[in-house]
Amino acid sequence: MYKYAFLSKSLSAVRSPLAGLLRFESISTKIKLRNYSFPARTLTQTLCLHTNTQNLSSYHPTQSQQREMKYVLVTGGVVSGLGKGVTASSIGVVLKACGLRVTSIKIDPYLNTDAGTMSPFEHGEVFVLDDGGEVDLDLGNYERFLDVTLTKDNNITTGKIFQSVIEKERRGDYLGKTVQVVPHITDAIKDWIESVSAIPVDGKDGPADVCVIELGGTVGDIESMPFIEALRQLSFSVGQDNFCLVHVSLIPVLGVVGEQKTKPTQHSVRELRALGLTPHLLACRSAQPLLENTKEKLSQFCHVPAANILNIHDVPNIWHVPLLLRNQNAHDAILKQLNLLSIAMPPALQDWTMMAETYDNLTNSVRIAMVGKYVGLTDSYLSVVKALLHACIACSLKPSIDWIAASDLEEDSAESTPEAHAAAWETLKNASCILIPGGFGDRGVRGMILASKYARENNIPYLGICLGMQIAVIEFARSVLGLERADSNEFDTNTPDPVVIFMPEGSRTHMGSTMRLGSRRTLFQTPDCITAKLYGNTQYVEERHRHRYEVNPEVIEVLEEKGLKFVGKDETGKRMEILELPTHPFYVGVQFHPEFKSRPRRPSALFLGFILAATGKLEAHLKSHQNGV
């Protein structure tokens, strides 16, 4: 379209006034040079650096500049909690099964910089990444479904965007301009998306083929407006062949009428279109499959082809969702919109199908007592639940999780709520294994100590994660060492026997990103411990951390003399990472969070060992593992 001769003639205009530069940029969003296609701003930057045609002719775009990123945006309407995260993850699974490389971005419109300071009751669990990012739990879904390793920048929040814009304003980067939502905030959002989508997350070189973006909240929320506008601008700038919008909405059924109602989705799509975005596909959530007349009505009033109206109805487990999308040819609609049909393959989901059907056909189960603080909201321990699921399926079992509020086990509750107290203890005693997950604050701690004591004294398999490990140390110090007031500084700052202390490098004034976070290496102190055998590595293991308290190094010697062994330490040898009780069938505490790296086809080694111990199969597994079977 534009020849090299034209570019040569234009160099004189570019070297001089700003008007020449602006005119050059306004020619087109893309300019072809020697059969290479790349953004005009990249060319402009190059022309500013080179002042002669010889230097310009030596410019060779990189592979990432030759390839255009394809974006799939997933939005939600009507109500929150429809499963946009699972839908976005499932779209990624299907596209990946078509032979494409996929990355993901989650947009959270809240003002928090990250999820680290948010209560699990408010927003579910805080998922931790390798780089220490404290992010939304949906990024956990992405990592588990797509088997990728994301970065903290894959989670965009309003707080992050505003912070970056304000920092630029303070530095004077805007050259005296009035800083506004449009264009400065929206430009920052677009730049963030475009730069993060180019970061490889699957261990391969170069950017992915498709970036799946999930916009949190519902369309019409005030806090989402800057993101909606930025995404509208992005869809326009990248072109129709590089942008596909999937809108997730609810199709309710009124109990009295019994009819599938499309009006909420109609209003949601109308709101979306009024904001400048038009959905290419509708993903309709419902209890039962959509009727044909419902699809026709949606197609007519929402201006979406009937073939592009997908039904994500309730299924036995979420692993069926990618199969639902595949069966409705969602991949064909998305690939057609993104102009990728020529390079994509038919989706290969045989392993995924086998995994989903295997779970459906399992009949035997194992009872797991989960003793925690936030049992009122199961999303608070989502990754732990998923890790238990992965381990149970590997053992051909279904997990039967008994949720126990730790406070119900305490002696005080025997008087205040005797029925709940009795039920909690009966549930605990009927479980095959006991797990105490992470948490913060002193609520329910006494109940957790009683649960760990019961597991230790009755040879019940026990797994303590983060706080659960510290609870095991406190209980052992009190019961075995006779230190009745042994405690953590987190719960009692005046305890005479602080067996758990605040980390020296931690901050007592700032909460966000001040913990020990991210992937860290733990060195095994002996190759003969259960944990090393389960991991199959006698040297070290790398897992993700999130804590600000640690076992007091000064009490390690006396604890080990009484039988509690710290078989894993950090690289300094001063920070305790793994404890075991050799006289117990399975009594393990870890300072890290193994649940964050568990995958459907690769369950966490510790969770697998925990379930095997609960079913009496651990010893046989370790022997076969040792023999290479």
Burial class for 209, CB neighbours closer than 10 Å (0-12, 13-18, 19+): buried
Strands 102-108 and 243-250: unpaired
Active site residue 593: yes
Report the SS3 class of residue 38.
Answer: strand
Active site residue 302: no
The contacts found for 203-208 with CB under 8 angstroms, 24 or more apart, are 203/149, 204/101, 206/63, 206/64, 206/67, 207/64, 207/67, 207/69, 207/101, 207/103, 208/69, 208/100, 208/101, 208/102, 208/103
Which of 390, 545, 584, 593 is an active site residue? 593
Please say whether the beta carbons of 75 and 219 come within 8 A: yes
Distance from C-alpha of 261 to C-alpha of 309, rounded to nearest angstrom: 15
Q: Which two tokens stand for residue 489?
A: 């500084």
Helices (H) and strands (E) in the chain, counts: 25, 23
The contacts found for 268-272 with CB under 8 angstroms, 24 or more apart, are 268/77, 268/78, 268/218, 268/219, 268/220, 269/77, 269/301, 269/302, 269/303, 269/304, 271/77, 271/219, 271/220, 272/75, 272/77, 272/219, 272/247
Please say whether the beta carbons of 155 and 136 come within 8 A: yes
Which of 466, 529, 545, 550 is an active site residue? 466
**For residue 494, what is the DSSP state?**
T
Burial class for 611, CB neighbours closer than 10 Å (0-12, 13-18, 19+): buried
Please say whether the beta carbons of 139 and 155 come within 8 A: yes
- With a CB cutoff of 8 Å and minimum separation 6, the contacts of 455 are 434, 461, 462, 587
Element (H, E) at 502: strand 497-502
Nearest to 386 by CA among 354, 359, 350: 359
Which of 211, 543, 595, 621 is an active site residue? 595
The residues assigned a catalytic role are 466, 593, 595
